[in-house]
Amino acid sequence: MKSMCPEKRLALLVISFFLAFAFLSGQVTAQTKKKTPAKKPTASAKADTKKKAASSRDARNSRTAKSNTRDKKATARNSRTAKNEPRSKKLSAKEQARLDAKNKKNERTAKRAPRETKREAAERRRREAAARAAALAERRRREAAARAARERWLAFERGLRTETVSNIAKDNTEGEDLRIRNVAVEALGNRAGTVVVMESQTGKILTMVNQDWAIKNGFKPCSTIKLVTGVAGVNENVINNEGDIVGENSSVNLNTALAFSKNPYFQRVGTKFGNAKMIDYARSLGLGQKTGINAEGETPGKLPYGNSNPRIYSHGDDFEVTPLQLAVMVSALSNGGNKVVPHISKPSVERTGYRPQYNGRIDVPQERYQQVLPGMMGAAEYGTARRGVDASLGIAGKTGSCIGKGSWVGLFASVAPVEKPKYAVVVITRGHSERGKYAAAVAGKIYRELAPRLVRDRERYMALKNMSAAPADARTAGMTDDEDDDVEEVTDANTSASVKDEEVFTVYAEPRIQVPVQQPVKKVVKTADSKPVFSPVVIPYRKDGKPVEPSTGRPRVVKNDK
């Protein structure tokens, strides 16, 4: 203390003084508070105090909950972090070595992963390229198959035409009307087919183009079979006098059904009398048997024994007919029921005139089988054949269109004039584009050539036309081409897929093959009614028997040759 300077001693004294003063002041204040009496709290003050206390507790609890949530999250993070921490700190040296080896293997696998992905991408591209190549190959295969089918079809078409031309060139034209034959050949043109022109009353063949098909081949009759169904329906009382199906209410009658070739009508009619009666009426009309023509190799055709499908009454399924049989049938329907025997005239053999022969009569009353004639007339006037023929010539016929023997078949069987038939013309054509209306157009050209030979009876024609109690014109109002059912509905079972109607091929026109025109050969046939070819030479004589000069009347001078 002696060594301490006076200033420091003064400072210590001052500090000590202030400390003592502060201590004494605190004691005095405490004693004053104890002596002051406390005020009693009021009810409102107590309530406020409770609210403040509750608010303080809620705030503390909220802060505590938040703190606990933060603590839990922190604990979870710490836990995850602890899990993610390498275990090498807790593992032995041996376990650490195994872990290091495993990690190295995982690293090598991770390095190889990109190379495997590239390999997969390459494989995917390879598969896509293979799929594209397969699709392209399939498309090319289909195109090649379509071309091959088209080539086969064109070859088939050419074969039909070539066969037709070859057969026409081999036809025996002896006894035919060569003028009518040339017209028929020209009308047939480049189509594959056959034409028969026959006298309806006598059966004499005027011409038969493609005789092999006309005599030796059978064809599906298609809708021409509806004539048989119609006759059977009328005679079996399935069709009434008005042409309606008994027991049904329909806007289509027999006339309309024949004119527009309505398939459902004839299917309903046929199913009412059945297969057996259909065959009986077909035979009565000359089908399923030989006509008796004086030519070799005639086929009798075919009848649908055992087939109960309704298509036999409308499409002629399982039937086979020849043009000659159709000519005989339509002739018998219009000539009074006589089934004439077709005859090829052979003047070199026949010394006397030809007498018509008959193969019986239709075994149905005339007033019944003639019920189909107004419908046949309607086909030429306003029905399926109207664009091909001139109805003013009195033509009555039935068209047909269907598929048979691998191709479309177009048919037209007709007579003219229907009131007193003179000729029967039957045309059958084959080919992808053939239909009954085109066969009718071929017949129409032949009828134009025959027109000068046709003698009409208008009164009888109108009587036949009005034979039905419901005239055809009244029942066909509003009919259109779209209602023409003379077309095959389902392809034939024997037809290849390449000729189904839904497939369309472009058939290029073949070069026109000219058939040699047959020139008529002038023949002088001596008969009882023959007239002299040259004018007679008259040599006058006097009463005494001596000849005279025709110009002067004076005696002729006869020189003695001796």
pLDDT tens-digit map of 346-368? 877 766 667 889 999 999 999 99
Neighbouring C-beta atoms of residue 180, cutoff 10 Å: 20
Report yes or no: 376 and 394 within 8 Å, Cβ to Cβ. Answer: no
Encoded tokens for 285 = 């009309």
Note the pLDDT of residue 245. 95
- Beta pairing partners, 321: 219
The tens digit of pLDDT for each residue in 169-183 reads 999 999 999 999 999
Phi-psi region of 79 (alpha: psi -120 to 50; beta: other; left: phi over 0): alpha
In this predicted structure, which of 113-122, 145-154, 398-407, 532-541 has the lowest mean pLDDT?
532-541
Q: Tell me: pLDDT of 553 over 60.
A: no
Q: pLDDT category, 478, cuts 50, 70, 90?
A: very low
> What is the CATH classification number for the domain harbouring 222?
3.40.710.10
Q: Is the dihedral of CA 169, 173, 178, 181 positive or negative?
A: negative
| Domain assignment present for 401 | yes
| Domain assignment present for 554 | no
CA distance 194 to 206: 14
Note the pLDDT of residue 417. 95
Mean residue pLDDT across the chain:
80
Report yes or no: 327 and 198 within 8 Å, Cβ to Cβ. Answer: yes
Structural domain tally of the chain?
1
The tens digit of pLDDT for each residue in 78-125 reads 565 555 554 445 678 878 888 888 887 777 766 655 555 778 888 888
Q: Which amino acid is at 293?
A: I
| Domain assignment present for 460 | yes
Q: Which residue has the higher pLDDT, 201 or 22?
A: 201
Encoded tokens for 497 = 């897929």
Note the pLDDT of residue 440. 97
| Domain assignment present for 481 | yes
Report yes or no: 487 and 447 within 8 Å, Cβ to Cβ. Answer: no
Encoded tokens for 121 = 């991408």
Report yes or no: 462 and 419 within 8 Å, Cβ to Cβ. Answer: no
Q: How big, in percent rounded to 5, are the helix, strand and coil portions of the chain? A: 50, 10, 40
Listed in sequence order, the DSSP H helices in 413-467 are 436-450, 458-465
Element (DSSP H or E) covering residue 505: none
Q: Tell me: pLDDT of 229 over 90.
A: yes
- Beta pairing partners, 63: none
| Interstrand relation of 423-430 and 192-199 (parallel, antiparallel or unpaired) | antiparallel
- Beta pairing partners, 429: 193, 410
Domain around 323: 153-499
Note the pLDDT of residue 521. 52
| Domain assignment present for 409 | yes
Percent over 70 (pLDDT), the chain: 68
In this predicted structure, which of 52-61, 185-194, 330-339 has the lowest mean pLDDT?
52-61
Tell me, rounded to whole angstroms, the distance of Cα 430 from its chain centroid: 18
The tens digit of pLDDT for each residue in 384-434 reads 999 999 999 999 999 999 999 889 999 999 999 999 999 999 999 999 999
| Domain assignment present for 221 | yes
Residue with tokens 């019944």: 368
Q: pLDDT category, 75, cuts 50, 70, 90?
A: low
Q: Tell me: pLDDT of 497 over 60.
A: no
The tens digit of pLDDT for each residue in 302-316 reads 999 999 999 999 999
Q: Residues 6 or more apart from 250 whose CB is under 8 A from it?
A: 244, 265
Q: Tell me: pLDDT of 525 over 80.
A: no
**pTM of the predicted structure, to 2 decimals:** 0.66
CA distance readout (Å), 335 to 281, 302, 328, 509: 18, 25, 10, 40
Q: Residues 6 or more apart from 303 whose CB is under 8 A from it?
A: 279, 282, 283, 287, 288, 318, 319
| Domain assignment present for 315 | yes
Note the pLDDT of residue 471. 46
| Domain assignment present for 374 | yes
Cis peptide before 417 (omega within 30 of 0): yes
